[in-house]
Amino acid sequence: MNPKIKWLRDKIARLDMQGMIISNPLNIKYLLNIDAEGVLLLTRKENIYITDSRYIEHVNTILTIDDDIIVWNVTDVSQDDYENFFMFCENVGFEENYVTYAKYKEYMHKYKINNLVETENLIEKQRIIKDTEEIEKIKKACNITDNCFEYLKTYIKKGMTEIQIAKAIENYFLENGADGIAFDTIVASGENSSMPHAVPTNRKISSGDIITIDMGCKYKGYCSDMTRTIFVEYVQEYIKPIYDLVLTEQKKVQKELKEGITTKTISKIVEVDFKQKNKDLIHALGHSIGLEVHEEPILSSRAPEIMIKENMVFANEPGIYISGKFGVRIEDTILINKDNCESLTKSDKEYCIIQG
């Protein structure tokens, strides 16, 4: 049997559930590595994936006999079949954070289930720890992102707009093996860089500009996330202390983030250091990365506290924003190893001054 399905069956058995309905396509992608629309049922004896004719061929290409999954075409499933799937099941789990209230009621009725019980993100929690294959995919996404940054260093010229640069990034990803972007690319120049979630505009790049570039791609479904703050022709003096502070803290996180520290403690380190310089960490220090670019846990003193463990993957992204003037953010995608953490995005973080 597919080892992730085996894990899930053991897990729900320990929670006194005799079955589970998995509807979130990202959880299904995680468990079975298929990109399709459908629903996965773990019944007492079988693992059943119900999809439609558009996806049957793709699904049968990916799944092997060893996966031990029975694939049904939705048009072949009768009401009797639905009622039989969970017959004699006392408790059947479902994804209460994905399934709408209307769908919940539909499931109760269609499958004739007595107890549809909440599973408290149990698959999402397992997704926090990455396996070798997942790490390889994230590494590849990070590698494409690094190469894109190298390309940008010579591509960006004065007179170009933020939108133009953002498009060039997205084209680069598509033309260099990525599935696509992991999130809307941020290119924020001059005073626009003071907004952490700036949307690219038609503002033209000029000499002396600071440019924050926050970009990431997907490779086989897995995301990268990297930010570099760069300069056009020269670095304005008033920016340097802020840049140096952000970079120092980003490297400090890289040094301190390892198995055994908590999400809250690591965030507090940066918050306290920023505070000493009269600055605030206005967004989270980071977040888990995987099939989604923003996953839990969040590296923040305000989010639920989680112990950092080996094979977690995070964004490490401290930033300082001077309202209406400029902002600096430096971000890497990092992998937690046993005794240290490893940056999976490897682009240089020292002052990058492009010749426009």
Looking at the DSSP assignment, which residues form a beta bridge with residue 299? 286
Rounded to 5 degrees, φ, ψ at 256 are -90, -20
Nearer to a second copy (CB atom), residue 303 or residue 352: 303
Q: How far apart are CA 26 and CA 336, in angstroms?
A: 23
- Rounded-to-integer distance, Cα 281 and Cα 322, Å: 11
Residues engaged in binding a second copy (CB under 8 A): 54, 94, 96-102, 104-105, 118, 163, 167, 171, 174, 197
Q: Which of 215, 240, 231 is nearest to 331 (CA)?
A: 215
- Output the smallest distance, CB 167 to a second copy, in A: 8
H or E element in which residue 215 lies:
strand 210-215
- 46 or 118: whose CB is closer to a second copy? 118
Q: Nearest approach, Cβ of 172 to a second copy (angstroms)?
A: 13
- Contact call for residues 279 and 119 (beta carbons, < 8 A): no
Instruction: Rank residues 283 and 325 by Cβ distance to a second copy and give the closer one.
Output: 283
Between residues 53 and 154, which has the closer beta carbon with respect to a second copy? 53
Shortest Å, Cβ 302 to a second copy: 11
185 and 170 Cβ atoms separated by less than 8 Å: yes
CB of 339 to a second copy, least distance (A): 37
Question: Minimum distance from CB of 96 to a second copy (Å)?
Answer: 4
Q: Which backbone phi and psi does 28 adopt, to 5 degrees?
A: -70, -40
Any idea what DSSP says for residue 114? S
**Half-sphere exposure of residue 324: CA atoms within 13 angstroms, side-chain side:** 0
Q: How far apart are CA 31 and CA 127, in angstroms?
A: 9
CB of residue 20 to a second copy, shortest distance in Å = 14
CA pair distance 124, 8, nearest whole angstrom: 12
Residue with Cβ nearer a second copy (97 or 355): 97
Q: Name the residue nearer to a second copy (CB basis): 96 or 310.
A: 96
